[in-house]
Structure 1
Amino acid sequence: MSTSRTSIFFAGATGYIGGSVLYRLLQHPSAKTFDITVLVRSQEKAKKLESFGVKTAIGSLDDHALVEELASKAHVTFNTADSDNVEAIRAILRGAQKRHATVGDLPIYIHTSGTAELADSDALGNKTTDVIWDDTNVEQVESIPDAAFHRNVSLEVIAADKAGYVKSYIILPSTIYGRVKSPLVDAGIQNPQSIQIPYLIKAALGRKQAGMVGKGVALWADVSNDDIADLYIALYDAIAANPDKVGHGIEGYYYGENGEHTWYSISRAIGEALVGLGVSKDPEPTSFTDDELIKYYGSLMFGNFNGTNARCRANRGRSIGWKPKYTTQDMLASIKAEVEAISKQ
């Protein structure tokens, strides 16, 4: 990686993960050597981002020609936005291929997926699994079904790496938690709130009692927003220091986890917070009906997702120096504040 200026294309800066990663890049010891261009939809947020010292391009991931052009001008691309927009990712990869062909550079692509790739489909909250996914087990990573959530895009990213015109790395966050507090949030740029746990909270507020899929015994890994953002930086730093020692392509899966929880434990914590607010009289969660899952999640498929198992170990990230600090107990302790904040929205 260049020791002078490093051109970076960043997608997803206004998001929950992306804003935290971008802010870390802005605070990075090498920040003065970064030329960061952020893709952003609104002119208003573009002006705000520019005040932090980055360049902006107005558009979305669906502006494929623009995305391809921005990627072709960057040595490093971070995509923390839509992990299922296959045409957008193809545009990024075309840009990387063009850069490799014209500049002779071997671009770096850091892609965001999620441990939903690892989730089973038949647990329905009523059973746990003994399967624990290890991101250093390449044979196991290769065995992820092609039809798994997010997997079609990940396979395109891996194939591009194998073709030799880009080095690709895929970060797969698990259940992410913690409300973000940062200057980007204060400026109205970054979304401070996650998705999975807030959905459960909103459903609980709607039914005035905590809910869960089935018995809530299925297991998922979890990771704090702070820790997952640190993983992106640990990965970038490892690539910058010695790229030959950092797994990429099919060896470039990086799970984000620092513990695991049952869905029941989250719902119970939500229930206790609801009792504290006087919304509910009983902290014990009850099972969602099919009608409730459709009402609060839009479909049974998405609703039942909170009854799947997705157990994993982030051994590859730890091997390159990532040191997550926050645990499952921190996640459960954070729920009360999350419930209080969402109840006021």
Structure 2
Amino acid sequence: MSGKTQVFVTGATGYIGGSVLQRLLNHPSSANSEFTVLVRSEEKATKFEQAGYDNIKVLRGSLEDVDKIEAQAAKSDIVVHTADADDVGSAKAILAGLKKRKEETGKVPIYIHTSGTGVLVDRAEGAYESKTFYDDTDANQIESLADDQPHRNVDLLVVAADKEGYIKSYIILPSTIFGIATGPLFDKGIANPHSQQIPFLIKTGISRKQGGVVGEGVARWPCVHIDDIADLYGKVYDAILAGQDIGHGREGFYFGENGHYSWYDLSKAVSQALAEVGRSDKPEPTPFTKEEREKLPILWYYGTNSQCYSKRGRALGWAPKYGTEDMLKSVKPEVDAILNLQH
């Protein structure tokens, strides 16, 4: 690549995106890279511009600004998409831009796309633990997933583009991410330090004055710490820049997993933490009622199985440090943070 490597990052003010961008800024290659970040909020855009990063340019816009996204992708050697995994329009715009990049330069650009292990879910309703574990080195098993699984429609677009040959795609699939993110972008108020899944359960527990669980809570999910998932992006990025022939396209799915938990155990940790601060009468969760399920349809998700092995990342040297017990211990600090924000 001539000149500076052009890297386009979406979701840079988010939980995953902010953590990943920090890793890229600390990468040995960053001095020879120029980063463009898509930022919707004028306040966050100004904070980025005042943060003192000489190699970051701000592109004001949202995922709906597909013309801007396509134009920037067409100028980019690498796109790291950490925003909405289900946004078809922005994904198509990125792919269209990267196709132009390939046509204009003759070089195959890189697309690191964020999906999620939600693509693996079933409809267990918390009633059973699945015996199926997905292996990210088994492309045939991943291709057996139904096209209408969550995130799958966008994943298929990305893999098809790789097959056409105008990109090399690497799809990273985080599981339940835990931990409050730290670092310069979070200290400056640019990026969001909190995940979604666990805080949602906490906020729901606060409103109902007790932790909740879908059915019996027997179903299981993988988990991964925010620093560990950012390191997985870093390992993939390292390998790409080093010219290693690592899996891409249909062979380019990288699960982010370091242990599994049951929804009941997580809900119990929420209940215990709420009880400690006087927001729950009992340290045990109770099943969500039919009325609660109807009011919050997303609760079905909290009764699913999504089990997998992260073999590709580990083959690259990814060594996650934090596991299931750390995830359960992370609940109390999240409770404290949420209650502090409410005051």
Q: TM-score, normalised by structure 2?
A: 0.96
Aligned to 2:77: 75
Partner of 1:293: 293
Partner of 1:124: 125
**Shift in Å at residue 49 of structure 1?**
1.5
Q: After alignment, is 109-118 or 285-294 more displaced?
A: 285-294
Which residue type is aligned with residue 337 of structure 1? P
Aligned to 2:327: 331
For residues 208-249 of structure 1, give each alpha carbon's deviation from its aligned partner in whole angstroms, at most 9, with x where no partner exists: 111100001100000011100111110000111134x21000
2:249 is the counterpart of 1:249? yes
Deviation at 1:3, TM superposition (A): 8.0
Spell out, residue by residue over 1:300-340, the C-alpha distance to the aligned partner (whole angstroms, 9 max, x if none).
xx111100000001001111121111111100011111111
Asked if 1:223 is matched to 2:224, the reply is yes
Per the TM alignment, residue 343 of structure 1 is displaced from its structure 2 partner at its CA by 2.1
| Alignment match, 2:143 | 142
User: What residue in structure 1 maps to residue 208 of structure 2?
Assistant: 207
Is the CA contact (8 Å cut-off) linking 1:209 and 1:274 kept in structure 2?
Answer: yes
Alignment of 1:81-120 (within 5 A): 81-120=83-122
Q: What is the alpha-carbon distance in structure 2 between the residues aligned to residue 57 and residue 3 of structure 1?
A: 22
- On the 8 A contact 1:205/1:343 being kept in 2, the answer is no
- Residue in structure 2 matching 1:320, options 313, 316, 322: 316
Query: 1:47: how far off?
Result: 2.5
1:135-169 superposed Cα distances (whole Å, 9 cap, x missing partner): 00111011111010010000000000000000011
Q: What is the match of residue 279 of structure 2?
A: 279
Distance 1:321 1:6 in 2: 24
Q: CA deviation at 1:186?
A: 1.8
**Structure 1 CA distance, aligned partners of 2:2 and 2:246?**
18
Q: Note the C-alpha offset of 1:293.
A: 2.6
1:35, 1:266 → 2: CA distance? 41
Return the alpha-carbon distance in structure 1 between the equivalents of residues 293 and 191 of structure 2. Answer: 29
Name 1:269's counterpart in structure 2: 269
**Is 1:42 the equivalent of 2:73?**
no
State the partner residue of 1:25.
24
Q: Which amino acid aligns with 1:215?
A: E
Give the counterpart letter for 2:118 in structure 1.
A
The AA in structure 2 aligned to 1:271 is: S
Match status 1:174 vs 2:170: no
Q: Indicate the residue corresponding to 2:301 in structure 1.
A: 305
How far apart in 2 are the matches of 1:33 and 1:234? Answer: 18
Deviation at 1:34, TM superposition (A): 1.1
Amino acid at match of 1:256: G
1:187 deviation in Å? 1.4
**3-state DSSP of counterpart to 1:220:** strand
CA deviation map 1:44-102 (0-9, x unaligned): 32222133331011111111111001001010000000111111101100000001001
Name the TM-score, length of structure 1 as normaliser. 0.96
- 1:184 is aligned to 185
1:278 shift after superposition: 1.3
Equivalent position amino acid for 1:170 in 2: I
Q: CA deviation at 1:42?
A: 2.5
Separation in 1, partners of 2:211, 2:258: 25
Distance 1:176 1:239 in 2: 24
Matched letter for residue 57 of structure 1: L
Q: CA RMSD in A?
A: 1.1
Aligned letter for 1:145? A
- The 3 A distance-change label for structure 1 pair 343 and 44 is closer
Distance in 2 of aligned mates of 1:68 and 1:280: 49
1: CA distance between counterparts of 2:179 and 2:113? 22
Q: C-alpha distance in 1, partners of 2:230/2:90? A: 22
| Stretch of structure 1 that moved more, 131-140 or 278-287 | 278-287
Q: Specify the SS of the correspondent of 2:126.
A: coil
Aligned residue in 2 for 1:58: 60
For residues 116 and 324 of structure 1, the distance between their equivalents in structure 2, rounded to whole angstroms, comes to 20
Letter in 1 for 2:237: Y
Cα deviation 1:92-146 (Å, max 9, x = unaligned): 000000010011121000000000000012x100101100000001110111110
